[in-house]
C-alpha cells in the first residue's frame, strides 16, 4: 500500500488531526507524533484494528500496548483506580500529565485483551504533543512506537517511513520529537508503609523526579512470557548493525580490518573513545555542552545514522546513570542485547 504523509504544522495541524481521526474511526492505523517517539495508533477499543498494529510491527502478542487519552478525566474510561491509590494517582496526573509518564493500573472490562496482552492491568498516558492529544480527545488510541518490533524507535516522520512505509496507510508529520526516549512507566502500589511507585521502564521523568511524590522501587524480574509493561523485553531498540557498549576506554581494543562506527556522548573528555581508533563514522549524542537531555533527544537519531553508515560494528560510549542517563543506558543495553541475536 502507499503510505500517505500529512504534514501537521502550526497552521493546519487540526486538519491533519481530523483526517487521522476519520481513518482511526474506520479501523485504520495512523503513525502519530508524541513528545517522546512516534506512535502507531489504532482505536484502543477496536480489537481488529489493534491486531493490525501487531501485524504491521511484527510485534509479539505478549508485549502490551500503551493507551493514549486526551483528557485527564478519560482515565476513567480505560482504567479503574483503586480507592487506596486515588491520592497518589491524582498527584502523578496533576504533576506530569500531559507528559511522558505512563501509569499501569487495573483495566476496565471494555479494553480488549489484545491491548493488554491478557493482563488485568492497562498502561495509560496523556501525551504533551498537541497532535497526539487532539486525536486522543476524539478517540482513545493504543499506540506503541511506530517501528518494526525490537528495532530503533522513530523520532521523526522520516524514520517512520523507513520502518513502516508501505505497511501503514498514513503518517502525520509533526516534526522531530522533543524528548527522544519513550515515556517513563510506573505502577502505583500500596505497601505496608504507604504508597510506592514500581518503576517498570525508565524514561524522561527520572527516578529523582518520582521520589518527590513517593518511594520508588525496582520492578520484579520478568521473563519474555511475563511482561508487565511495554519496553521490558531484554532485546529492544536495536540497530541491524551489531552494537557494543563500552563502559571504560581501556575495555575497547580495535581489531584489524573491522570498520567501526562510534556513538560518542560528548566527543571529548576522559571517557571519550574518539582517539581509540580510526573510526569509519562518528555520531555525537550531545555536541553542545555535553548535557544528558540533549543526548537523550539525539540517541535514536544517531543510532539510526550509524546503522545506515555501512560499518561492521557500532561502539557506544556509556553515559552517567543519573537522571535521564538511566533511561539512556537502559535503551543502549537492550539495543546491544538485540544486536547479539
Mean pLDDT of the chain: 94
The residues with which 250 forms a beta bridge, in sequence order, are: none
Percent pLDDT > 90 in the chain is: 85
The full 3-state SS of 93-141, as one line of letters, equals HHHHCCCCEEEEEEECCCCCHHHHCCCCEEEEECCCCHHHHHHHHHCCE
DSSP string, 294-332: HHHHHHHHHHHHHHTTT-SEEEEE----STTHHHHHHHH
The candidate with the shortest Cα–Cα distance to 56, out of 42, 70, 68, 35, is 42
Sequence-separated (6 or more) residues with CB below 8 Å from residue 195: 85, 87, 88, 188, 189, 214, 215
Question: What per-residue confidence (pLDDT) applies to 229?
Answer: 85
| DSSP states of 218-282 | PPPP--TT---STT-SSS-SB-SS-EEEESSGGG--PPTT--EEEEESSS-STT--TTSS--SEE
User: What is the spatial distance between Cα 263 and Cα 314, in angstroms, rounded to a whole number?
Assistant: 7
pLDDT tens per residue across span 213-249? 999 998 766 554 568 888 888 778 889 999 999 998 9
The answer to whether the beta carbons of residues 263 and 303 sit under 8 Å apart is yes
Strand order in the sheet with 313-317: 243-246, 313-317, 260-264, 281-284
- What is the number of other CB atoms lying within 10 angstroms of the CB of residue 305? 16
- Residue 181 predicted with pLDDT over 90: yes
Residue 293: pLDDT over 90: yes
Confidence band for 289, pLDDT divided at 50, 70 and 90: confident
Would the pLDDT of 290 be above 80? no
**For position 341, what pLDDT does the model report?**
46
pLDDT tier at 340, thresholds 50, 70, 90: low
Nine cell digits for residue 238: 536495536
Q: What is the dihedral of CA 20, 25, 30, 33, to 10 degrees?
A: 60
pLDDT > 70? residue 319: yes
Q: What is the mean pLDDT of residues 79-101?
A: 97
Asked if 187 contacts 195 with a C-beta cutoff of 8 angstroms, the reply is no
Q: Among 318, 279, 314, 284, which residue's Cα sits nearest to residue 299?
A: 284
Cell of 42: 489504532
Rounded Cα–Cα distance for residues 334 and 322 (Å): 18
Q: What is the mean pLDDT of residues 106-125?
A: 97
Q: For the chain, list the domains and their CATH numbers.
A: 4-217 (3.90.870.10), 243-339 (3.40.50.11030)
Stronger pLDDT, 225 or 273, i.e. the higher one? 273
- For residues 256-285, average pLDDT: 93
Please state whether 103 falls in left (phi above 0), alpha (psi between -120 and 50) or beta: beta
Phi-psi region of 309 (alpha: psi -120 to 50; beta: other; left: phi over 0): alpha
- pLDDT value at 49 more than 90: yes
Reported as a pLDDT band with limits 50, 70 and 90, residue 270 is confident
Quote the CA–CA distance of 259 and 269 in Å, as a whole number: 23
Angle between helix 13-25 and helix 130-138 axes, rounded to 10 deg: 40
Nearest-angstrom CA–CA distance, 41 and 144:
7
Q: What is the pLDDT of residues 187-201, one digit of tens each?
A: 999 988 889 999 999
Amino acid at each position: 500500500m502507499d503510505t500517505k504523509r500529512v504534514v501537521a504544522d502550526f497552521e493546519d495541524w487540526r486538519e491533519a488531526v481530523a483526517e487521522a481521526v476519520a481513518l482511526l474511526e474506520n479501523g485504520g492505523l495512523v503513525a502519530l507524533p508524541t513528545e517522546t517517539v512516534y506512535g502507531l495508533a489504532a482505536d484502543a477499543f477496536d480489537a481488529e484494528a489493534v491486531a493490525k498494529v501487531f501485524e504491521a510491527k511484527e510485534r509479539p502478542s505478549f508485549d502490551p500496548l500503551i493507551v493514549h487519552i486526551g483528557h485527564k478525566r478519560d482515565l476513567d474510561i480505560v482504567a479503574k483506580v483503586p480507592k487506596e491509590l486515588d491520592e497518589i494517582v491524582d498527584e502523578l496526573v496533576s504533576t506530569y500529565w500531559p507528559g511522558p509518564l505512563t501509569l499501569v493500573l487495573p483495566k476496565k472490562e471494555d479494553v480488549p485483551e489484545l491491548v493488554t496482552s491478557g493482563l488485568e492491568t492497562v498502561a495509560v498516558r496523556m501525551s504533551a504533543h498537541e497532535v497526539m492529544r487532539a486525536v486522543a480527545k476524539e478517540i482513545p488510541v493504543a499506540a506503541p512506537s511506530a517501528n518494526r518490533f525490537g528495532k530503533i524507535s522513530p523520532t521523526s516522520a522520516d524514520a517512520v517511513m523507513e520502518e513502516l512505509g508501505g505497511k501503514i496507510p498514513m503518517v502525520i508529520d509533526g516534526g522531530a520529537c522533543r524528548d527522544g526516549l519513550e515515556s517513563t512507566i510506573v505502577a502505583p502500589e500500596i505497601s505496608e508503609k504507604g504508597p510506592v511507585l514500581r518503576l517498570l521502564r525508565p524514561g524522561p521523568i527520572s527516578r529523582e523526579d518520582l521520589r518527590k511524590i513517593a518511594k520508588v522501587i525496582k520492578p520484579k524480574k520478568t521473563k519474555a512470557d511475563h511482561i508487565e509493561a511495554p519496553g521490558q523485553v531484554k532485546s529492544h531498540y536495536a540497530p541491524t548493525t551489531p552494537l557494543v557498549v563500552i563502559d571504560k576506554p581501556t575495555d575497547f581494543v580495535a581489531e584489524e580490518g573491522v570498520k567501526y562506527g562510534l556513538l560518542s556522548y560528548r566527543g571529548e573528555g576522559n571517557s571519550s573513545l574518539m582517539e581509540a581508533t580510526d573510526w569509519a563514522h562518528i555520531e555525537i549524542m550531545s555536541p553542545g555542552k555535553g548535557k544528558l537531555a540533549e543526548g537523550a533527544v539525539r540517541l535514536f537519531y544517531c543510532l539510526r545514522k550509524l546503522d545506515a553508515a555501512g560499518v561492521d560494528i557500532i561502539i557506544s560510549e556509556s553515559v552517567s546513570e543519573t537522571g535521564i542517563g538511566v533511561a539512556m543506558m537502559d535503551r543502549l543495553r537492550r539495543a546491544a542485547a538485540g544486536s547479539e541475536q
